[in-house]
Each structure stands twice: as C-alpha cells, then as structure tokens.
C-alpha cells in the first residue's frame, strides 16, 4: 500500500476533503491530490503533521507493504493459534502486535488476530487480562472503519459483548449503530441492554416480537421448501415439512387451526382421499381458534389485534363452498367427504 493510498484511506475515515486537509497542513489541494494519486510524495517535514491529522502513527503512514493475501492471513492465524497453546500469552501478544504494526491496513488480519487473542485471554482466565484491553479494543475500533461490512459487523459484535461484560451499557448501545436496523440481532441486543438497565417491559416486548416474527419467517421458509419438494415430486419430504410446520405452530402456541392447516395442499397434490377428508375435518373443527395466538402468554407483552369474530365464520363459509370445487373432484363419492358436507 502506497503512502498516497494510506493518506486517502484515513482522510476519508476522518471525513475530510482534500481541500480541508490541505488547509490544515498549509499546502494546496492539488498537492494532496498528487500525493493520493502517487504523482508525488509529501515533504519529510510534513510526515508527522499528516500522521497527527489522520490519527495514525508515522509507521502506519509510511507502511508501503501490500496487504497479505487470504492464504497468508490464514497461515499466520494458524501459527498464532498454535503459539498460544505452547507459548506465554504476553510473548505471543507482542509478536502479533508487531505483525499488525507491519501490516497496519490489513483489516482481516487485525480483526481475526484480535478475536483469537481476545478469546484466548478469556478462556485462559489470565489474572491480568484487562491489561490488553487498550490494544485489542483499539484493533476492533480500527476495524469499525472498514469498508467490508462483515469486518465492521464482527468488530462491533466483539465490542458490544465486551461492553456488556463491563456493564458499560451506554457504550454497548453505541455499537448497535453498526448493525442494520433490519437485523434481528440488533433488536435482540437492544433487548439485552434494556433488560440490564431497568427497562424490563421493553425487553420483554422486544423478545416476544422477535419470537413472533421469527415464527412467521420459519413458516414462510418451510412453506417455500415444501413447494420446492412438491415440484420435484418428493412426497416424503413434502410430508416431513408439513409435520415441521405443524410442530412449529404448536411450539409457538399459534392455535389448533394453524397446527392442522399445512397438510391440505399436500393431500390434494397426492390425491390422498383419506388424508384430505381428515385434514379438512380438522380445519373446519378448529377454524374458531385461528386467532388463539393473541391469548398466548408467549406474547403477553405485545399488543396483538384480536381476530374479528366474523373472520373465522367467513373462512368456514369459503371452505364449505370449496368442498364441491374441481380441486376436490377426486373426493366425489368419498363417504368421509360426504359426511363432512352433511355435518356442516
């Protein structure tokens, strides 16, 4: 990595334009532009001011080494792990610190070495484990500036859990900003913070919402997978996924209707008359339980809309109409099917 590349990277991380950087250093914007493009090098007298402005050391500024390849990083990390099993932790730590100083812009190396060293000092229960906080957390903080989303998220995750361990919930909350607002893990982590800071009701509600939306995601995925197996003619797996959907509805207390409804499509696809009649009977019997999840204690801190009493009646009416549809042509004359019609 050239000095111009280093300057550009850290200038952007600081949120500075070339003009702003030039003004603070007493040079022209075209000069900064030339440095970054490799057309010229800064004057030696400017190296220390540049490093201070960018928040890095002169060693980092003058690091001309290219980043390590993924293979080289993996080889080094394997050696690092082996050394931690056979050598003194502090000795290995200093060696890793030197390696990171040698490759100060190799984010994958910094992040993964920090994770390995951080984990080892915890599992080894070092009496002076806290003495390494500054360096290891500093490496994680540097990775928060990475353009690689995975590196940023992993670094934020490590810093979040470190803050939780130290009961620094305000700092832990700041690290949540590095997770997408759509990421369920962000919501779960916020719930953890709430549970530790006296916001118990918010924590309960968030956890319950995660359970509720998690169930919906599970059922959509099971349904899509079942359809795929049906398209490929795999009856065994289609039925297995019906069982999984039924079990999920039971485990998440979604009511009897939601436990029995999943097999109807498969029964129709297979033209299994006995199973079709059984499932349709169970559906008609349980349609009034369609909104039972709203009464489950699993979701007692959530505000769930109760089902309009007319809704189950409408569903039942449509189901009864469908008994004579062409979809169920194979059921005509079936004794159990005819009994269903008579019963309802």
Q: pLDDT, tens digit, for every residue of 69-102? A: 889 999 999 999 999 999 999 999 999 998 988 7
% the chain with pLDDT above 90 = 75
> Is the model's pLDDT at 66 over the cut of 60?
no
**DSSP states of 25-45:** HTS-HHHHHHHHHTS----GG
Q: Which stretches of 173-329 are assigned E, i.e. beta strand?
A: none
Residue 138, pLDDT > 60, answer yes
Prediction pTM value: 0.73
- 3-class SS of residue 307: coil
Q: What pLDDT is stored for residue 64 in this prediction?
A: 53
63: CB partners within 8 A, 6+ apart: 1, 6, 102, 103, 104, 105
Q: Using alpha carbons only, what angle is made at residue 219 by residues 218 and 220, rounded to the nearest 5 degrees? A: 95
The answer to whether 242 and 226 have CB atoms below 8 angstroms apart is yes
Q: Give the pLDDT confidence of 211-243 residue by residue, as tens digits.
A: 999 999 999 999 999 999 999 999 999 999 999
Mean pLDDT of 51-56: 91
CA–CA separation, 251 vs 254, rounded Å? 8
pLDDT over 60 (residue 182)? yes
Kindly provide the b/e burial profile for residues 103-135, where b requires at least 16 CB atoms within 10 angstroms of the residue's own CB: bbbbbbbbbbbbbbbbebbeeeeeeeeeebeee
Structural domains present in the chain: 3-61 (1.10.260.40), 70-196 (1.25.40.10), 203-343 (no CATH)
Unique residue bearing structure tokens 């607002």? 181
- What are the φ and ψ backbone dihedral angles of 180, each rounded to 5 degrees? -60, 145
Predicted local confidence at residue 146, as pLDDT: 85
DSSP-derived letter for residue 301 is T
Average pLDDT, the chain: 92
């Amino acid at each position: 990595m050239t000095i111009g590349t280093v300057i550009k990277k850290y200038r952007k991380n600081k949120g500075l334009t070339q003009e702003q950087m030039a003004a603070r250093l007493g040079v022209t914007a075209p000069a900064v532009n030339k440095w970054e493009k490799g057309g010229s090098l800064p004057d030696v007298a400017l190296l220390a001011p540049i490093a201070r402005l960018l928040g890095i050391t002169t060693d980092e500024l003058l690091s001309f080494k290219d980043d390590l390849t993924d293979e080289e990083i993996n080889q080094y990390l394997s050696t690092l792990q082996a050394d931690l099993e056979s050598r003194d932790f502090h000795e290995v730590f200093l060696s890793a610190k030197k390696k990171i100083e040698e490759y100060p812009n190799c984010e994958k190396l910094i992040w993964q070495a920090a994770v390995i060293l951080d984990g080892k000092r915890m599992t080894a229960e070092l009496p002076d484990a806290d003495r390494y906080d500054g360096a290891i957390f500093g490496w994680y903080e540097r990775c928060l500036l990475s353009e690689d989303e995975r590196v940023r998220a992993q670094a934020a995750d490590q810093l979040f859990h470190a803050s939780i361990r130290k009961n620094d919930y305000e700092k832990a909350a700041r690290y949540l900003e590095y997770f997408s607002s759509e990421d369920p893990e962000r919501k779960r982590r916020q719930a953890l913070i709430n549970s530790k800071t006296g916001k118990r009701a918010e924590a309960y509600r968030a956890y319950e919402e995660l359970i509720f939306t998690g169930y919906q995601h599970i059922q959509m995925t099971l349904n899509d997978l079942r359809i795929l197996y049906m398209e490929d003619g795999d009856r065994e797996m289609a039925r297995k996924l019906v069982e999984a959907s039924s079990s999920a509805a039971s485990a998440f207390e979604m009511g009897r209707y939601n436990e029995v409804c999943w097999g109807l499509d498969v029964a129709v696809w297979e033209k299994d008359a006995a199973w079709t009649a059984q499932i349709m009977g169970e559906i008609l019997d349980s349609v009034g339980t369609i909104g039972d999840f709203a009464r489950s204690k699993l979701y007692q801190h959530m505000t769930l809309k109760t089902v309009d009493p007319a809704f189950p009646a409408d569903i039942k009416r449509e189901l009864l109409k469908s008994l004579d549809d062409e979809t169920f042509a194979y059921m005509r004359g079936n004794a159990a099917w005819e009994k269903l019609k008579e019963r309802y």
